[in-house]
A and B are shown apart, each in its own frame.
Chain A
Amino acid sequence: MLMEFLPLLIILLLAVFIGVFVVVLGSTFGPKRPGQRKNSPYESGMVPYGPAKRRISVRYYLIAVLFILFDIEVVFLVPWAVVVRQIGVPGLVFMIIFVLILEVAHLYAWKKGALEWD
C-alpha cells in the first residue's frame, strides 16, 4: 500500500538535489565583491532607514486564522466527496448541516468586517 509513495520519495530527493545544485552552481561561478553600499537592502535608491521587520497589520493574522478554520472544512469535505454516492441522502443531509453551521461563522466574520481591507 505504502509502496505507491516510494516513487514520490524518489522524485522529492531529485527535486531537492536540483534545488541545492542550482544554488551551489550560482555561488560557485559568480564573482564575490561585497561592499557596504552594495549589501544594504534595496529601498528605491534611498539610504534605508529603520528595521525592515516592522509590526504588521492585524488583517494578515485574521486572514490566517480564518483560513485555518475554513481549510479544515475543506479537509472534511474531501473524504465525503469520494463516498457521497455510497452514503446517499443521509450523508448529504449531514454535510449540508455541517456546511451551514460553518457558513454562519463565515457570515459572522463577514458582517464583523474581518474580510474588509480599509
Chain B
Amino acid sequence: MIDAALIWEWIIKSLILIIFLTVGFMYVTVYERRFLARIQSRIGPNRAGPFGLLQPAADGLKLIFKEELIPANADKFIFLLAPIITVIPALIVLAVIPWGEAMVIFGRQVNLFISDVNVAVVYIMAVTSISVYGITLAGWSSNNKYALLGGLRATAQMISYELALGLAFMGPVVLAGSLSMVDIVRAQQSSLWYVVLQPAAFLIYFFASIAEINRAPFDMPEAEQELTAGYHAEYSGMKFALFFMAEYIKMIAISTIGATLFFGGFDGPFVDQIPWLGPIYLLAKVVIYLGVLIWVRASWPRIRYDRLMQLGWKIMFPLALLNVIITAVVVVLVN
C-alpha cells in the first residue's frame, strides 16, 4: 500500500506547500506595504528591485545579521521555544486544503492535497488553537510587563473568538454533511458557493478569523501605541522574524480556509475540463481575500479591548450558535 514513490510524493507536496507559504509570506508583506501605502497616498517600498519586489529578501538578510537579545531573567528555554511553537501551526494548517482536481503528472495520478483526512475541520480548529500557546509563552517568558500584558490579552482574545470561529465552521459542515475539505468543495460545486447559502456564517468567520490572528481592527494585543509591540516586544532578529512570519502565514491560511469553505475553493468555470485552472482559481481567491484583509486594516480604527471581548461573547457567539441551529432546522425540514 505505502511504497517509496508515495512517500516521496508526500514529501514533495509538503515541501511545495511550505515553500509556497514562505515565499507567499515574503510577498504578502510587500503586497500589504504597497497596498496600504497606496490607500494612504504614499508610494511604499519601491527601491529594492523592480517595484520593490526584492524588499522582503533585503529585510530577511538584514534580520539574519542582527543581534539577538535575551532579556535578563527571561526563561531562556521557553523564550527560544515560543517562536517555533507559533510558526509550526501556521505552516501545517493548510495541509488539508485541496488545491485542485486530481492530475496526471509524469504518468502518475496525483491528488492535489497533502491529505484528505475525514476530520479536516477539526484538524484546522485543533491546529489553530496550538498557536495560542506560542503567544502566551512568548509573553510569559520575556520578563517584560508589556509582553506579559500583550500575551494575556492575545490569549483571552484568541480563545474568546475561537468559539465563534468553530461555530462558523459548522454552517458549511451541516450543509455539506462532511468534515472533509474536499467534500465541502464538491458540495459547493453541486450547489451554490456557501457565501450565498451561509452569509451569516461567512461574516462571523471573517471577523472572528481576523481576531484570531490579532490583526487590525482587533490588534489590541500588539497595539503599538500602548504596549509597544505586545508579546514580541523583547524578540529581535530571526526570532522576531518567526513571529512575523507566523502572523503573515496565518493571514494566508485564513484566506485559504475562507476561500475553501465559503467561495468554492478551487471551483470555477471550466475547472472540470482543465484541471490546471484549479490552483489558479484558488490563488486568485486568496489574493482577493488578502486584499480585503489589508483594506480592512487601512479603513477601520482599532476597537477598545472591553468592547472587543463583549463583541465576541455577547454578539458573535450567540449569533453563530443561532446560525448553526437555524441552518440545521432548514436542512432537516427540507430533507
Contacts and interface: CB of A to CB of B under 8 A. Distances in A.
B321 interface: yes
Interface residues of B, number: 88
A18 B328 contact: no
Contacts of A78: 121-122, 166, 170, 173, 179
B86 to A, nearest CB: 9
Contact of A41 (B87, B143, B160, B310): B143
A25 B64 contact: yes
A3 B1 contact: yes
B148 A12 contact: no
A6 B10 contact: yes
Contacts of B309: 63, 115, 117
Interface string B276-292: 00000000000000000
Q: How large is the interface on A (under 10, 10 to 19, 20 to 34, 35 or more residues)?
A: 35 or more
B115 A81 contact: no
Interface of A: 3-8, 10-12, 14-16, 18-20, 22-23, 25-27, 29-34, 36, 38-44, 48, 52-54, 56, 59-60, 63-64, 66-67, 70-71, 74, 77-78, 81-85, 88-89, 92, 95-96, 99, 103, 106, 110, 115-118
21 contacts: A5-B115, A7-B14, A8-B92, A11-B114, A12-B88, A19-B87, A22-B87, A23-B238, A29-B64, A30-B238, A32-B68, A40-B72, A41-B72, A42-B146, A42-B233, A59-B156, A77-B167, A84-B332, A88-B335, A95-B325, A103-B321
